[in-house]
């Protein structure tokens, strides 16, 4: 085992890549099965992935769930998809608190605050929803290979 070996999953011609190193968990659908398996990678050998409970060749994997893989996706995008929903809910809660508790008014919703809060929450969830979650390795557009062996 080489200390620098890792697996790369990417779309051919694209710059987005997902990396798996020994110690990472791999969620995969093996050819011929209908359910996904989750197992920890222990090492790489040639085009073989040695897992805690299985040994797989790359051509035996049908689909990989890349939602928790290390990616070269922008840190800003990763941060924004987490912060926007929190900011939306926080803005909404602060407005309600300010209007009803501080100013002593009855509970009422300000249209502008409600629309803005909803837009922030929706934007954050849309960014998360649009992110690639699975890579189908039977599709010739995608490839997986081991580097450093």
pLDDT at residue 3 is higher than 70: no
Retrieve residue 7's tokens: 């697996």
Per DSSP, the residues of 54-95 read -EEEGGGEEEEE-TTSEE---HHHHHHHHHHHHHHHHHHHHH
- Decide: helix, strand or coil at residue 146: strand
pLDDT (0 to 100) of residue 2: 46
Confidence of residue 55 (pLDDT cuts 50, 70, 90): very high
Confidence of residue 149 (pLDDT cuts 50, 70, 90): low
Joined tokens for residue 3: 């200390």
Q: Is 9 exposed, middle or buried (0-12, 13-18, 19+ CB in 10 A)?
A: buried
pLDDT, the chain, mean? 89
pLDDT in tens, 98-127: 987 777 778 778 899 999 999 999 999 998
Nearest to 53, CA basis, from 32, 34, 28: 28
Quote the Cα angle for 7-11-16, to 5°: 75
Query: What is the pLDDT averaged over residues 48-68?
Result: 92
Residue 1 confidence class, pLDDT cut points 50, 70, 90:
very low
DSSP string, 113-140: HHHHHHHHHHHHHHHHHHS--EEETTST
């Amino acid at each position: 085992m080489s200390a620098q070996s890792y697996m790369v999953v990417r779309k051919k011609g694209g710059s987005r890549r997902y990396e798996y190193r020994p110690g990472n968990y791999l969620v995969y659908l093996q050819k011929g099965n209908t359910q996904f398996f989750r197992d920890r990678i222990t090492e790489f050998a040639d085009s073989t992935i040695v897992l805690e409970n299985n040994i797989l060749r790359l051509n035996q994997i049908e689909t990989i769930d890349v939602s928790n893989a290390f990616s070269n996706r922008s840190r800003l995008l990763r941060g924004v998809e987490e912060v926007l929903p929190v900011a939306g809910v926080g803005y909404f809660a602060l407005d309600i608190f300010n209007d009803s508790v501080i100013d002593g008014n009855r509970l009422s919703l300000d249209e502008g605050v409600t629309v803005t809060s909803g837009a922030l929450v929706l934007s954050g969830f849309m960014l998360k929803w649009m992110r690639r979650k699975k890579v189908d390795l039977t599709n010739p557009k995608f490839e997986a290979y081991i580097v450093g062996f």
